[in-house]
Amino acid sequence: MHFELKRKLRIYVSLFLSLLLLSAVAPRQQSAQQELGLVDKQNRARLHQALIDLTNPFTVLCVAAHPDDEDGSTLTVLRRKYGVHTVSLFSTYGEGGQNAVGPELYEELGVIRARETMAAAEVQGSEPHFLGLRDFGFSKTAEETFRAWGEKEALRRMVFQIRRLRPDAIITNHDTTTGHGHHQATGRLILQAFDAAADPKQFPEQLNQVGVWQAQRLFVRAPRREAQATAQVTQKQFTIDPNEADPFRETTYAQQALAALQKHATQGPWPKTVAAGGARIIRYNLVREATGVAALPDNAKTPIDGLRLPESISSAFHIPTIDNKPLTEFVDKKDEVLISLVNARKHGAFTASRDVMDLDPPRFQLMSSRLDAALAVAADVGITAETDEPVFVPGAPAKISAVLGNGGEVDVQIKRVDITAFGSEHRVATADKMLPETETTALYETTTPKTASLSVPSDAHLYDGQLFGQPVVARAELAVGDATFVITSQIQRDVAPPVQILSVDPPVYVSTPASSQKPLEFKVRLINRMAGEFKGLLRVLGSSLETGREIVLGAHSSDVFSLSVRQALPITRRIQSGSELGITVDLPNPKSPIDKRKVKLIYADALVAPELVVGYLPSFDQTLSRSLAALNVNAKELKVSDVASGDLSKFSTIVLDIRSYEAHPELLPVNDRLLKFVENGGTLLVFYHKTDEWNPDDRRQRPQLAPYPLTLSDDRVTQEDAPVWFLQPRHPLLNSPNRITQADFANWVQERGLYFPKEWDSHYAALLSTNDKGEPPLHGGLLVAPYGKGNYIYTSLVWYRQLRAGIPGGYRFFANMISYGNRKTEASRANDQ
Ligand SMILES: [Zn+2]
């Protein structure tokens, strides 16, 4: 029993205190001995981290445009090896990118990427912050980026964060002239902000909240070719070799950095292992320094090498030692370390007279809190904030607890416990002491204020400061011997209505001539957050329309309800774009809405050939199935096994979603079946792929995937209103069943297309041309070739984004592509006219 309790507590403490990289996840079926061994290793690593942290009073900031642009290798080495306080700052949440693992895009993707970034930062041992600038998709220049961000606003935010985070050195991967426009813009901003943060005339209104701050050095990562040819280096540099082994974690820093990178799963796939020859050596060029700063030494290993604090401050930072040896040499003698730390606290390490502390209060706070953390690790005590429910519901009771654990071998006094929630701090009753190997809980019972602002759905709160909801902080003041220290735990909890609409499918309702006479069908997912059964109404409200149904939803449960609108439909050709329906969940009596979602209604005048049978292979989301349903097409979702061995002859058209060969690698070996389908008279429509997912590659055993050679480039057209020219205006694909005009390219979202083909065989007809302003025209956005008795279409235009957003032109063009080559298409047009 005693052993079991100790084991449980050690695991508990290691889970809740963990600041360390947990590189090896414990398999469930481990023996107790192995488990203890793992826990011991984690405890050693954690203690070493806490002790090395005490030796380093400097902060390094890594500035990045998007999640995954941070230099995880350098951040990991700086924290794990040197104990630098590492923070990262991201211009955007990366919501304009693609999603390699799920259906979410835009703000929903931003929410996921924020979480991924936080998970990566935990592995790196750094602390992420965001400027919350909008990621509007790929851009080619800083100017275009600043038009969207506002240069001054972006600078204001970056200056504020530098003044708040107070980095001694700043590093960035981004220069001012290469790569993504967001990267260039971020590279420019940081150059400006380096000086502006120190200038009291810049953004003086911020000085009520933060002081001016002069970072000492600014570094930009050296380009790869320069890093390889060190002879050419003229600038001062520091060099990081991430291939060194971390003696406390049994991995190299490069492996830890890769583990962090893999947390950015929506941007994968990532390599599974560090390359055989090791990760690249990383070099940074010194591009700015403050006046009077110590020179960066030759052969510098970190951005802070040679930096010195003012004498009065550094002399106050007495780093504890044992027999004049650093504490990091004593990680296996925890008891001695604890005594040394207790003495350090008693003798006022990292404190000084008021006038000295006033020179740089946050640095004293940082080091003092690092001493707190070291005391907690050495004493093996921890705290975790918990709530009884996963979300707060306004007006409902909320129980918040601080769970304290003592996994060590000495008594720990509890001087006070405070819980901060909804903006105010409350002292809570608690035991006054924890014996070794015990835990205790301090409970705070309250009611979520009725005025607490909702933070769900998260994607609606990406930019308003409510992302992930209310912070809850549990804080305990403890004492070991006569040394007092503070431990804290912060969590965030969403604020949600008692019954919440989690999703509405479809999120945008597109109607076409073939589907406009059908009832509107919605599937609504609800969750009941309350402890009692919910009886109420699910309603649809819109212009001249009101219908609904009664629903019953059990306590703490979630379910999907279908909702069908059978009465006279408001969707006709007269529906203007911008019409919308409200879907609400209501209390029955009196009817009062608890939660509401809006659904846009869109009419697309898109005709399809009759008797089409379409098979489609989706990649990451449901856009294809929803779009085909809106067109009222007889459609069947395919699996790769259907392609491999099913009867494809029943389909008139098969559609491969974006990045199909990436999403379904098993498709590669059965691609011949698809070409055979075309040869036998079918139409195969292939949406865009990335260059390295498509171009022939012997190493990956990827042949030419199209029936005739077709090679992709990295060219993009990022302006969603870039002009589109018809190269073959009479081509049937542009005329049947729908006559495509310029109007069909109006109101597009995000971009025109990406990874445009650069070379293609003469069998292909190129139908459209488009380009960003000032760039040469790209002709490969839509290629069509006859093959055997059928037709092959490859298109790099971003139809999936237009279909998903309900852009009518997207539906009309998609209808033409799936109808193409169907013998009845021409007849259908004749009948219609
Ligand atoms: Zn980026």
Run of H or E residues at 22: none
Rounded CA-CA distance 800/626 in Å is: 11
Is residue 828's pLDDT more than 90? no
Return the number of other C-beta atoms located less than 10 Å from residue 173's C-beta. 20
Handedness of CA 3, 5, 7, 13 (dihedral sign): negative
Span from the CA of 180 to the centroid of ligand 1 (angstroms) = 7
Half-sphere exposure of 386 (CA within 13 A, CB side): 12
What stretch of H or E contains 726? strand 724-726
Half-sphere exposure of 810 (CA within 13 A, CB side): 26
CA of 174 to the centre of ligand 1 (A): 9
Cβ atoms of 334 and 342 within 8 Å: the answer is no
The whole-number average pLDDT for the span 480-504 is 96
Burial class (CB in 10 A: 0-12, 13-18, 19+), 28: exposed
Q: What's the CA-to-centroid distance between 68 and ligand 1, angstroms?
A: 7
Q: Which residues pair with 18 in a beta bridge?
A: none
Beta bridge partners of 791: 683, 786
User: Measured in angstroms, how far is the CA atom of residue 113 from the centroid of ligand 1?
Assistant: 12
* Range scoring the smallest mean pLDDT among 6-20, 329-343, 437-451, 802-816: 6-20
Q: What is the pLDDT of residues 759-813, one digit of tens each?
A: 999 999 999 999 999 999 999 999 999 999 999 999 999 999 999 999 999 999 9
631-659 pLDDT, tens digit each = 999 999 999 999 999 999 999 999 999 99
Q: Average of pLDDT values for 451-465?
A: 95
Find the helix packing angle between 106-124 and 253-261, rounded to 10°: 160
Question: Distance, CA 450 to ligand 1 centroid (Å)?
Answer: 40
- Residue 825 corresponds to which amino acid? T
State in Å: Cα 103 to ligand 1 middle.
20
Distance 827 CA to ligand 1 centre (A): 49
User: Residue 767 corresponds to which tokens in the numbers above?
Assistant: 């139908």
Pick the more confident residue, 482 or 285. 285
Distance 532 CA to ligand 1 centre (A): 46
Separation of CA 186 and ligand 1 centre (Å): 10
Ligand 1: centre distance to CA 66 (Å): 5
Q: From the CA of 261, how far away is ligand 1's center (Å)?
A: 13
pLDDT at residue number 17:
41
pLDDT score, position 229 = 55
Distance between CA atoms of 817 and 302, rounded to whole angstroms?
56
For residue 490, report the distance from its CA to the centre of ligand 1, in Å.
29
Answer for the pair 509, 492: CB distance below 8 angstroms, yes or no.
Answer: no
Tell how far the Cα of 137 is from the centroid of ligand 1, in angstroms: 10
How many angstroms is it from 85 CA to the middle of ligand 1?
Answer: 24
Identify the H or E element spanning 262.
none
Q: How far apart are CA 351 and CA 29, in angstroms?
A: 48
What is the per-residue pLDDT for 578?
61
Contact at 8 Å (CB) between 137 and 750?
A: yes
Tell me the DSSP string of 35-52.
Answer: HHHHHHHHHHHHHHHHHH
CA of 152 to the centre of ligand 1 (A): 21
Quote the ligand 1 centre to 61 CA distance (angstroms).
Answer: 17
In 3D, which of 387, 407, 388, 371 has the Cα closest to residue 487? 371
User: What's the 157 CA to ligand 1 centre distance in angstroms?
Assistant: 19
CA 386 to centroid of ligand 1, rounded, Å: 35
Q: 537: CA distance to ligand 1 center in Å? A: 45
pTM here? 0.90
Residue 689: HSE in the Cβ half-sphere, 13 Å Cα cutoff: 23
pLDDT tens for residues 93-141? 999 999 999 999 999 999 999 999 999 999 999 999 999 999 999 999 9
Per-residue pLDDT for 389 more than 60?
A: yes
Q: How far does residue 184's CA lie from ligand 1's centre (Å)? A: 10
- State the first-to-last Cα distance of the chain, in angstroms, to the nearest integer: 85
Q: How far is the CA of 302 from the centre of ligand 1 (A)?
A: 24
What is the 67 CA–ligand 1 centroid distance (Å)?
7
What tens digit of pLDDT does each residue of 565-618 get? 875 455 554 555 568 889 999 987 777 789 999 999 898 999 999 999 999 999
| Residue 122: other Cβ atoms inside 10 A | 18
The Å distance, Cα 70 to ligand 1 centre, comes to 9
Rounded Cα–Cα distance for residues 606 and 631 (Å):
7
* CA of residue 90 to ligand 1 center, whole Å: 10
* pLDDT of the residue at 30: 52
Query: Among 51-55, 76-80, 538-542, which stretch is predicted with the lowest mean pLDDT?
Result: 538-542
Evaluate whether 220 touches 239 at the Cβ level (below 8 Å).
no
Cα 65 to ligand 1 centroid, rounded to whole Å: 5
Q: Distance from CA of residue 764 to its chain's centroid?
A: 39
At 352, give phi and psi (nearest 5°): -155, -175
What is the average pLDDT score of the chain?
Answer: 92
**What is the distance in A from the centroid of ligand 1 to the CA of 794?**
27
Compute the distance from residue 187 Cα to the ligand 1 centre, in Å: 12
181 C-alpha to center of ligand 1: Å?
9
Q: In angstroms, what is the span from residue 271 Cα to ligand 1's centroid?
A: 18
Percent of the chain with pLDDT over 70: 92
Q: Output the CA 95–ligand 1 centroid distance in Å.
A: 11
Ligand 1 midpoint to CA 62 (Å)? 13
Residue 246's pLDDT is what? 96
Whether the predicted pLDDT of 544 surpasses 80: no
**The pLDDT of residue 78 is above 50:** yes
CA of 94 to the centre of ligand 1 (A): 8
- Kindly give the distance from the C-alpha atom of residue 727 to the centroid of ligand 1, in angstroms, as a whole number: 34
* Cα(135) to centroid(ligand 1), Å: 10
Centroid of ligand 1 to alpha carbon of 508 (angstroms)? 29
553 Cα–ligand 1 center, Å: 43
Give pLDDT tens digits for 228-270.
555 555 789 999 999 999 999 999 999 999 999 999 999 999 9
Collapsed DSSP state (helix, strand, coil) of residue 285: strand
Does position 755 have pLDDT exceeding 80, yes or no? Answer: yes
